[in-house]
Chains A and B, each alone.
Chain A
């Protein structure tokens, strides 16, 4: 269960307070205009950027390095930050090399696992390419796969389908939906599309207007 109650600073907007509690099985979609602080909120929620005060906990534990090493968090950033010195396959295998539970696996097995995921997503031809050779949409898809490869119980996806054309958006969403059927943890994602909410979410939170400084997630709308 993800619990949070903290203040965080949004550049050029001031400080906001967020509080709420997300049970296992929750698939929360957050909607809001660009620049309102959604990405900053997600990073603060996952303990990746500093909060002004307060905390967010996963299973009543604060986010810390030891917990993250266990592979609790799968985070897909909006800007698809793939490491340019690693191939797509190596980028995908990187989490498996870093996380504790995958350490006993040989690097060959880790690469095989990454290869399987690429195949499943229909991207196997990208395996040996470097990120600067990929289009924006390809980068986005690989970045999304990288956050899914180790089956983290907490998935945070920041605009996972932006940069994708309609066809790929539909295909990838369908594929993600299949994966999420097995996912028993918590999913939080940001989107600008109503169709994404209908297809993936069971809870919807609309970012409040500029004047409000409190984000009360208990008021999120059940779908």
Chain B
């Protein structure tokens, strides 16, 4: 019961589902059918099936490895927290770094690692370890930060006397982990691991940029290459089926969502005075340097060329790619905000959207290309790329808002009803201010990911027309000054968004 009528919410649900169906599912079904009519079996050789099986295994393996490493890292911080009273979540700098890394576009992160490898002339700067490193760098600190925060909240709210109690029994460290830390960790693990696994499994740009050729591929990359190069109906059909099957299976089994809600310190939360903030200060500095190393290196490269006349040349060269990426990002931000409004009002977690979790850029690309949705016009392409970028993060975006919405106390709605509040006033005074911060964060993250959009840009634009394409091209030409300059500009955008996100922090629950 709340001032928003059931009819209003159902209409919003229907609108969102129709939007999603008309831009993704229908084109995908159309493309699927039209492709199945072109199937001929001569391209389905045993070597193709071998490649397909190997890419699936590689995808699962790299995602599992990434998740395990992130889990181990986060557990270590939990251990330090419990036994050495080391508070990760009280470090403001860590929250900024964690959010910066998490919200950084995967393409920009992968390009930074590629830049690092090229700078040190590492011949094997590609491969499984680099892909896993990219996933690890983007997520480990963020996940650890969330875990530390949950652990501290648990200690404060529910069991602040549990640790002294266990100590009074003379409990050994091993037993302590078994009865205290492990159950909390396990619970926390299942709240983020499924989502991170799905992200790593369907990670596109890092695998495309950092893999060592076809033997280190995922079904999505195979799909992407088949759409662009191979054009074999039968092969595309097989990969599509496999991708959809894996997607549905993974989504059904692991359809949980990683919450962005606790991404930064809540200034209204209680503080644990007994935490020793300085004991692991140097350790924390080392960790920060480790995580930021590829990014700091790129920044240093850029700083070293400041004052050099060629920087003006880079500026000129970058004007078009930068403005294109900026427009894509802005368009995605506005789209996120508009759809976010609707998500706040919507009621159901639509299965059409829920199961779209796995539809990454190649799916949308395939659906759109097969239905002829492509434009020669620069601005139409910008709009299409930003929409595609938003669509690929939309299921996560939608679930984030729904999760927060479901956590609002039911009495809030009842209270507003008791005042005879209109739906509009209820939305304006209660729902929107409550979701504003989340909406802003999500729109910020979506726009950052759109800023680094790679797959669509590569197909929809001419050479180097967007920033990631410009960086990629210069990296491949070993023009490190230009590439590092481009990457640094991308960081600037990320820092700006993170700064604004942290500034917009408000208490989210009572």
Residues of A that sit less than 8 Å from B by CB: 43, 46, 48-50, 65-71, 73-75, 77, 79, 81-86, 94-95, 97-99, 130-133
Contacts and interface: CB of A to CB of B under 8 A. Distances in A.
A162 to B, nearest CB: 15
Nearest to B418: A75
21 contacts: A49-B414, A68-B418, A68-B419, A70-B420, A73-B418, A75-B415, A75-B418, A77-B414, A77-B415, A79-B409, A81-B409, A81-B414, A83-B510, A84-B434, A84-B508, A85-B433, A86-B433, A99-B419, A130-B507, A131-B507, A131-B510
Given A75-B415, A77-B411, A83-B430, A132 B420 contact: no
A48 B411 CA distance: 10
B419 A95 contact: yes
A84 B419 contact: no
A48 B414 contact: yes
A133 B271 CA distance: 12
Contacts of B342: none
Interface string B268-312: 110000000000000000000000000000000000000000000
B509 interface: yes
A69 B409 contact: no
Contacts of A79: 409, 411
Interface of B: 1, 266, 268-269, 409, 411-412, 414-422, 425, 429-430, 433-434, 506-510
Contacts of A48: 1, 414, 417-418
Contacts of A77: 411, 414-415
A221 to B, nearest CB: 28
Contact of B268 (A65, A66, A81, A132): A132
Nearest to B422: A65
A179 to B, nearest CB: 19
Contacts of B421: 98
Contacts of A67: 420
A81 B509 contact: no
A98 B420 contact: yes
Nearest to A152: B418
B460 to A, nearest CB: 40
Contacts of B425: 98
Given A48-B1, A81-B510, A69 B412 contact: no
Contacts of A84: 434, 507-510
Contacts of A94: 419, 429
